């Protein structure tokens, strides 16, 4: 996992990887809303995070608009190798 985090810091995400993840994110939304519990969980999360009632309408465009530069900017801002904390659970 640390290798992947370091890769994200050092190498820009590929167009293919970005497109695959956008497709995955867009495809998961309808699946989340297939059950009453999924709808309730989504609405609760929207309320908890103050996303507003238009969140689901705006989400596809927001996902489609994510750029390689957005990913790199977030990685640069949020991923700091000097502050990693590694935890493991279970047998070694």
In SS3 terms, 71-83 reads as HHHHHHHHCCHHH
pLDDT of residue 42: 95
pLDDT band, very low/low/confident/very high, at 69 (cuts 50, 70, 90): very high
Per-residue pLDDT of 39-66, as tens digits, reads: 999 999 999 999 999 999 999 999 999 9
Instruction: Say how far apart CA 71 and CA 68 lie, in whole Å.
Output: 5
pLDDT band, very low/low/confident/very high, at 7 (cuts 50, 70, 90): confident
pLDDT of residue 50: 97
> Looking at domain 2-82, which of 1.10.3720.10, 3.40.50.720, 3.40.1360.10, 3.30.830.10 is its CATH number?
3.30.830.10
């Amino acid at each position: 996992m640390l290798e992947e985090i370091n890769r994200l810091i050092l190498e820009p995400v590929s167009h293919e990887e970005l497109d695959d993840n956008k497709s995955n994110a867009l495809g998961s939304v309808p699946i989340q809303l297939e059950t009453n519990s999924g709808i309730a969980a989504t609405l609760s999360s929207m309320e908890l995070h103050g996303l507003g009632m238009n969140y689901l309408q705006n989400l596809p465009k927001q996902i489609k608009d994510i750029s390689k530069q957005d990913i790199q900017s977030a990685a640069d801002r949020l991923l700091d190798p000097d502050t990693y904390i590694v935890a493991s659970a279970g047998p070694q």
